[in-house]
């Protein structure tokens, strides 16, 4: 195994965005689910900004049919900028600029067939090349003081290897996640000796589960190239990562923050409430709104 100082730094991030988003139909009939707005920015921009804050330099999107809007979103829009400038809307102009990625930052590839998350990551192999990379699933949004990927890269710089963001889930929910078989756990880092994708509660080795943030070594592409299928008949990223246990360190990282599953309607609504409560402009009125509804609910119960 390599010494800690020999692990290469993480400069690239992969965003798999080819998924259908059926849970939000008909909203996602034409619009990609990653464009759903969390307060005032689409989900995909939250993921992009998290990666940017972690020092990521290259942003690789694995897209598919009907996802053109995503690349448009990160593009430079001179007309819009001129209009905002002419009207003196400097705050909005600043917000628009924050949504841009330049030609040296943005890279695109396509996943033509829905063969699973492992397959989506494999589609990015040429753009990633022979270096470690981050993966961010935009459905998982994390509210935290320090962006989750920044916390992970900080940790990775000390431990190297493969790293997964993890949290404990209720036992009845293990079938929604990749679940860890833990060798040792110091409260922040859980050393992993095995991993199962979406086990039934009675088969789950623990309740410590993977959420959509990974740091992976490039050797994963050799494994993914075998196109081995797992849970649900899909090429699973979890299975490919598990193959390296014993050859490369595999650590679950308990990040500090609150994760919202924006792939579900309830999670998406809760995230909108939580993020808007933090907003300097609308936070106060959202707080009043939430209190109003809480009172209505209590009156009904009483
Ligand atoms: C994917 C992964 C799973 C992980 C989850 C986190 O599942 O396959 O291991 O726990 O993301 O959100 P999906 O939610 O895409 O079915």
Q: Which of 210, 240, 242 to mutate to test the pocket of ligand 1 (most atoms within 8 A of CB)?
A: 210
Structure tokens, 166:
């993890």
> Is 140 near ligand 1, meaning CB less than 6 Å away?
yes
Rounded to the nearest angstrom, the distance between the alpha carbon of 175 and the centre of ligand 1 is: 10
Pick the CATH number of 4-263 from 3.40.228.10, 3.90.1150.10, 1.10.569.10, 3.90.550.10: 3.90.550.10
Of 16, 47, 118, 176, best ligand 1 pocket probe by most atoms within 8 Å of the beta carbon: 176
Nearest CA owner, ligand 1 atom 16: 176
pTM: 0.95
Q: pLDDT confidence of 7, banded at 50, 70, 90?
A: confident
Percent above pLDDT 70 for the chain: 98
**Which residue in the block uniquely carries the two structure tokens 């990282």?**
253
User: From CA 241, how far away is CA 48, in angstroms rounded?
Assistant: 23
Give the pLDDT score at 289: 96
Which atom, in ligand 1's list, is nearest to the CA of 209? Answer: 10
For 156, the enclosing helix (H) or strand (E) is: helix 148-159
Report CA-CA distances (Å) from 18 to 67, 106, 209, 229, 244: 7, 16, 23, 19, 26
What are the pLDDT digits (tens) for 277-286? 999 999 999 9
Q: Which residue's alpha carbon is nearest to atom 11 within ligand 1? A: 212
**Shortest CA distance to 185 belongs to which of 167, 212, 198?**
167
Could you state, in order of their start, the residue ranges of all structural domains in the chain? 4-263, 267-302
User: Taking residues 257-266, what's their average pLDDT?
Assistant: 97
Distance between CA atoms of residues 52 and 11, nearest Å: 10
């Amino acid at each position: 195994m390599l010494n800690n100082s020999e692990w290469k730094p993480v400069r690239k991030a992969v965003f798999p965005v080819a998924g259908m988003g059926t849970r939000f139909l008909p909203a996602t009939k034409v619009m990609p689910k990653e464009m759903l707005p969390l307060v005032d920015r689409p989900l995909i921009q939250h993921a992009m900004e998290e990666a940017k804050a972690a020092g990521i330099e290259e942003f690789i999107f694995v897209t598919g049919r009907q996802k053109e809007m995503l690349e448009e979103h990160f593009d430079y829009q001179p007309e819009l900028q001129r209009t905002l400038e002419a009207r003196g809307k400097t705050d909005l102009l600043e917000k628009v600029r924050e949504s841009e990625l330049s030609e040296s930052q943005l890279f695109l590839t396509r996943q033509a067939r829905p063969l699973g998350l492992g397959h989506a990551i494999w589609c990015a192999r040429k753009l990633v090349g022979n270096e470690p990379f981050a993966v961010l699933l935009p459905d998982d949004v994390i509210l935290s003081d320090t962006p989750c990927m920044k916390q992970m890269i900080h940790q990775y710089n000390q431990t190297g290897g493969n790293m997964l963001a993890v949290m404990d889930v209720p036992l009845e929910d293990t079938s929604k996640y990749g679940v860890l078989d833990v060798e040792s756990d110091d409260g922040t880092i859980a050393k992993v000796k095995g991993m199962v994708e979406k086990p039934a509660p009675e088969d789950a080795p623990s309740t410590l589960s993977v959420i959509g943030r990974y740091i992976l070594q490039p050797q994963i592409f050799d494994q993914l190239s075998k196109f081995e299928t797992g849970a649900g008949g899909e090429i699973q990223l979890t299975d490919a990562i598990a193959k390296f246990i014993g050859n490369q360190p595999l650590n679950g990282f308990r990040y500090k923050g609150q994760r919202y599953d924006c792939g579900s309607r309830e999670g998406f609504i809760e995230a909108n409430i939580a993020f808007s409560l933090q907003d300097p402009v609308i936070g106060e009125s959202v707080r009043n709104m939430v209190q109003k509804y809480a009172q209505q609910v209590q009156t009904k119960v009483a």
